[in-house]
Structure 1
């Protein structure tokens, strides 16, 4: 939708550019430079902002608050980005924040420094209105660490009292309102063998050969769970993403490690999936006499709130009005920190923000600053409605 260009739009574009130009790759966890920038930007505008040196002393987070009334809306953004990878693959340098043909390029531009910038601007702009007769509630803002690697950044901020009645995780959803998201669990399955010299293979027990029935069972499992579907987030998946085996060309391998990426629905739980993996491997062991073990190495729980919650209704209506976005119910197939709000803190929360999810983690990641400006207006209108 077209809109009147304003000085606020230019300030927002400049802010996105400044955030993108500060490299905050995770791993290893370089968020500190942006945390310091965000803290200074907010305090310069008279906003009460605090460094939170947990969960890691050397990777500070920022929490800020305006107002002290109810209800409280929490605006959440993570300040870490995935590594830029091979710089030669980028047409625009990943931390130059170059604008070309109306798009701002750089690692983290979509995921999710535009969301962070929109949250900061909304906090500053609405802070001036809070405390008047028009707006009586309060707003909390998070600049969280560690989202890209499943670290407890947002979880810690919520535990330290920076929660509220509503949460908005400002990831790039194209301003669609997500009330649910898929979960993700990674499993490592170790298939045992017995090493020997390859000139005498019969003396050993080849772990790669032993892995075949495990891979077959995983393929059947993926096909079996494909009919588990959720109308908002799609179907369940179990995808083999890595296999590692062998130490040397002339040694029968002692073990093989298979990695699975298991995407699961709000109706499923990681504990239940553990039981399924256990049963699957027990069957393989019984049928083939193969020894296996497994470990769940990372988990992002699924999360869902009522599709017709007040929070979701407000954001759907305002996004339809300001940005011409379909008000249909929607869910995120990836994973966001919204699960910390919904599952850990029992806060009604959505994932919503300007930018395209398809840009996340890509070479030449980019965002449209004009869309970000519409996003800021939509966010402010939505929060105003919640606080009135």
Structure 2
């Protein structure tokens, strides 16, 4: 199978050049390009309008043998932010010395491009009788904001025996990942004019014992550890309060980023937050309320699952990547495969996760081309093993 780097560069450039920021959720132009790309190669692909008809997804299936491997990528990207800080236009897809720059180049339009090319290559291989198996391709919406893009595709029948979420891992094979839950805690007060501060009840002062309790909670949860993922965290990330310089604030909002281990359940974390705030109210008389605003569940499969073993071995042999078991601290749509569909899945792909969401985000095209070699070799081994 051809893995010429110019094929990859052309597709990644086309994907990056189509802005698909989320929020607000501008995936349509990318989805339409991917759909047309498959059609031009005689491959049936579907524009899937669930869960949002204004934000279509793409799904394709080639082959009719076993096993079926799902290649999954999301087509939304985080906003580029202040473009004046970028050396290269975030949607210019500039290539300098073999490195392609642009928003989504690492996270994760290069992974999407790998999935597209591998699907097309295996369509030819299946038709030619070289191997027997099936590949399902996903170009999903909404991953950056925990929307049910991948979940909807799996529920709609675009599923399989294995899943590969093509996020940037430097071609390391992640069999486990942390989850996250974001909590917004509202601390009550009573506003007044700052010339009469004692007339009111300052929400900033009321927030102090809540912040102290959250610090103590973070210390406790860090004692929970996972062999591949390290400790759990409860990190206070935002404190919003105040309306004007001369107004005693009547409320404050604290945001907590809680990183979950596979052994933790989000409903148990809810109970921990509830108990923490009950203790603060009992001891300090501070009134609070809370809401969990976003959730990515943790996920894990055995490190010796055949899918993981094959990708570790091929990544080591072809790319020189360490072949030891590994977990990813970020959260990905692999949770939808493992937790929702009961499908063994890994997070694996080209590029460096450190590039995700950064100014001048970029991808090394030679590295990405090697990743395509690894991906196709791994799929071939899985298909031949089953045959």
Q: Give the structure-2-normalised TM-score.
A: 0.97
Match of 2:43 in 1: 47
The one of 342, 346, 349 aligned to 1:346 = 342
User: SS where residue 189 of structure 1 aligns?
Assistant: strand
Distance in 1 (alpha carbons) for counterparts of 2:279 and 2:378: 52
Distance in 2 (alpha carbons) for counterparts of 1:87 and 1:248: 30
The one of 177, 183, 193 aligned to 1:181 = 177
Structure 1 residue 382 displacement after superposition: 0.6
Distance in 2 (alpha carbons) for counterparts of 1:26 and 1:72: 30
Match of 1:380 in 2: 376
Match of 1:362 in 2: 358
Match of 2:240 in 1: 244
Distance in 1 (alpha carbons) for counterparts of 2:235 and 2:259: 8
**Within 5 A, what are the aligned runs for 1:1-388?**
8-388=4-384
Gaps of 5+ in 2: none
> Which stretch of the first structure deviates more once superposed, 219-228 or 190-199?
190-199
Structure 1 residue 131 displacement after superposition: 4.7
Match of 1:3 in 2: none
- 1:96-132, CA deviations, whole angstroms, 9 ceiling, x for partnerless residues? 1111122111110000010000100000111111155
Structure 1 residue 193 displacement after superposition: 1.0
Distance in 2 (alpha carbons) for counterparts of 1:133 and 1:11: 24
Q: Give the structure-1-normalised TM-score.
A: 0.97
Structure 1 residue 133 displacement after superposition: 4.4
- 1:19-47, CA deviations, whole angstroms, 9 ceiling, x for partnerless residues? 11111111111111110100011111111
- Aligned length, in residue pairs: 383
User: SS where residue 128 of structure 1 aligns?
Assistant: helix
Structure 1 segments of 4+ aligned residues over 3 angstroms from their partners: 131-134
Distance in 1 (alpha carbons) for counterparts of 2:228 and 2:123: 34
CA contact (8 A) 2:27 2:76 kept: yes
Structure 1 residue 216 displacement after superposition: 0.4
Distance in 2 (alpha carbons) for counterparts of 1:168 and 1:131: 23
> Which stretch of the first structure deviates more once superposed, 167-176 or 62-71?
62-71
Distance in 2 (alpha carbons) for counterparts of 1:134 and 1:385: 12
Structure 1 residue 199 displacement after superposition: 2.0
C-alpha RMSD of the superposition:
1.1
Distance in 2 (alpha carbons) for counterparts of 1:348 and 1:44: 32
> Which stretch of the first structure deviates more once superposed, 132-141 or 163-172?
132-141
> Which stretch of the first structure deviates more once superposed, 242-251 or 309-318?
242-251
Gaps of 5+ in 1: 1-5
- 1:357-378, CA deviations, whole angstroms, 9 ceiling, x for partnerless residues? 0001001111011111111111
- 1:307-333, CA deviations, whole angstroms, 9 ceiling, x for partnerless residues? 110100010001011111110001111
Distance in 1 (alpha carbons) for counterparts of 2:107 and 2:285: 46
Distance in 2 (alpha carbons) for counterparts of 1:97 and 1:248: 43
Distance in 2 (alpha carbons) for counterparts of 1:251 and 1:311: 59
Distance in 2 (alpha carbons) for counterparts of 1:124 and 1:380: 11
